[in-house]
Structure formats: structure tokens, C-alpha cells
Amino acid sequence: MADSMDGAYAGNAPLLPQAGWRRPAWVLAALLVVLALSQWPALRQAPLAKHLLTWSPALLLGMLANIQISVLAMLIGTLAGLVIGALQLSGLRVVRVLTHCYVQTFRNAPMLILIYFSTYVFPFEIHVGAHYVAFPDWLKVTLGLALPASANVAEIFRGAILSIPAAQWEAASSLAFRRTQLLRWIILPQCLRRMLPPWMNLYAGITMGTALASLVGVHDLLDTAQIASTTVNRVDFTVAIYFTTLLLFFVYCYPISRYTHYLERKYAFT
């Protein structure tokens, strides 16, 4: 009996630190919020807090620019990646080789190089009839980030397709399913569950990569922080403004990370 109880305890032991860790973390966060609210009147009178409050709307607008770039980059990258991932499974060797080269090139290229590449390859304006349409820098950065996104999505999609057991393909074929019905009702729903966690991890990585947009002249969160730091010209404010920048990225990306872990546990055996 003692041995069985020890074994049961050992088997359940990994669950206890997780449950015990989460609750104090939320309690600590709540206490910090209460403490900050209690000191709010005094903080409003402090010079550093006044500067932070003054620049807070601009920082939030800058963060919205980063979110806009990340969402569009993932949208373009996902659409392109699904097509490229399907082509990697083509029966034509030439198509497989070309798509494999695309995936390996842009999966292993630094984001900064791709951002500079897209900034200088694409024109500053497009000639449409008798008019010239500006090609903004933020759109170039979006396309630059869409390149690694598409390559990673293609690999995620290919891996999800190949992870489906061959017996399911054979069983569906024996039931006279057409290929479109097989993909729509059996294969793709399972692929979606397998793709969602790594896709969300990729989105969080692309979001953090948008911080490089300021290097090519895009007015985003980091660029706003640099302007604020130069304008106020105080060491304590510079530390505070960059800490706030870090905090904004953390607040946006951390829930994505937590939800990704939840989906990984949920779909672990599907």
C-alpha cells in the first residue's frame, strides 16, 4: 500500500508545482496593481510619471502600428505558406525542389536582413497610369516579415499533413471519398489542430520582430520610445520608457504564449 501511495504521489507530483505556481503569480500581480493604484496620487506629481503619462498615448499608437504590421505579415505569410506547403508535396520533383529551396532560404535568413532586403528592393512609389502611388515603409516591412512567415507556415503545414497516419488516408479511400472530400472532412481538420500551436508561436515571434521596423524609418513603438528618450533627455526617463516598451510587448505576447501551451496540452493526443 505504501509503495502504491508513493507511486501515485510521484505520478501526481509534477502537477502540484504548476498549480501552486500559477496562483501566487496572479496574487502577486494583483498586489502590485493595488499598490500602484494606492500610490497613484503621488506618482502623478512626480516628474518621471508626468513624462510617462504625456508619452503614453504615443506609445500605445506605436504599439498599434507594430500589431498592424504583425497581423498583415502573418495573413500574407499564412496564405502564401499554405500554397507553398501544398506544393512541397507535389508529385513533380522540380516543384518540390524549388519550394524546398524557398522554405530553407527564408526560414534561415535573419529578419533584419529580410527587412532591409524588402525596403530597398521594392520601389518608393508605384506608377499607376498617370499617377504615382506611394509605397510606404511599413508595408515594405510587412512584406519582409511575410517572407519568413510564409516559409515557416509552409513547413508547419507540410509537417501537419505528413503527421496524419497513412491508415486514415487508406480508410477514407476505401469508403470511396473523393480527394477533396478526404481533405475537407478528414485531413484538414486534424491538420488545423496540429498547426495552431506552432502557428501562434510563429505569430508571437513575428510580433517581436516588428521592433526592427524602426531601423528603416517606420514610426512604431520603438521609434516612439527613441523620440521620447531624446526629447526628455533624462537617464531615469530613458530607462522607464524602454521598460514600458518591453512591458507592452510582454503584455501582448505573453497571453499568446500561455494560450499556445494550453492548446498543446489540449491537442497532445489528437
What is the dotted CATH code of the domain comprising 49-266?
1.10.3720.10
Close Cβ partners of 96 (under 8 Å, ≥ 6 residues apart): 87, 88, 89, 90
pTM comes to 0.77
* Nearest-angstrom CA–CA distance, 217 and 10: 55
What are the grid coordinates assigned to 43, written together?
Answer: 506618482
Q: What is the rounded average pLDDT of the residues 136-154?
A: 94
* Nearest-angstrom CA–CA distance, 227 and 185: 53
| Least confident piece of the model among 134-148, 158-172, 213-227 | 158-172
Q: Which of 13-27, 58-72, 187-201 has the highest mean pLDDT?
A: 58-72
DSSP H/E element including 127: strand 125-128
Question: For residues 260 and 270, which has the higher predicted lDDT (pLDDT)?
Answer: 260
Q: Phi and psi dihedrals of 81, rounded to 5?
A: -65, -35
* pLDDT at residue number 31: 63
Average pLDDT, the chain: 81
Give the burial class of 177: count Cβ atoms within 10 A of its Cβ; 0-12 exposed, 13-18 middle, 19 or more buried: middle
| Least confident piece of the model among 11-25, 78-92, 166-180 | 11-25
Give, rounded to a whole angstrom, the gap between the first and last alpha carbons of the chain.
35
pLDDT reading at 28 higher than 60: no
**Residue (of 196, 198, 200) closest to 254 by Cα position:** 200
Cβ–Cβ under 8 Å, residues 83 and 110: no
| Least confident piece of the model among 31-35, 132-136, 170-174 | 31-35
Close Cβ partners of 219 (under 8 Å, ≥ 6 residues apart): 62, 65
* Nearest-angstrom CA–CA distance, 86 and 245: 39
pLDDT reading at 116 higher than 90: yes
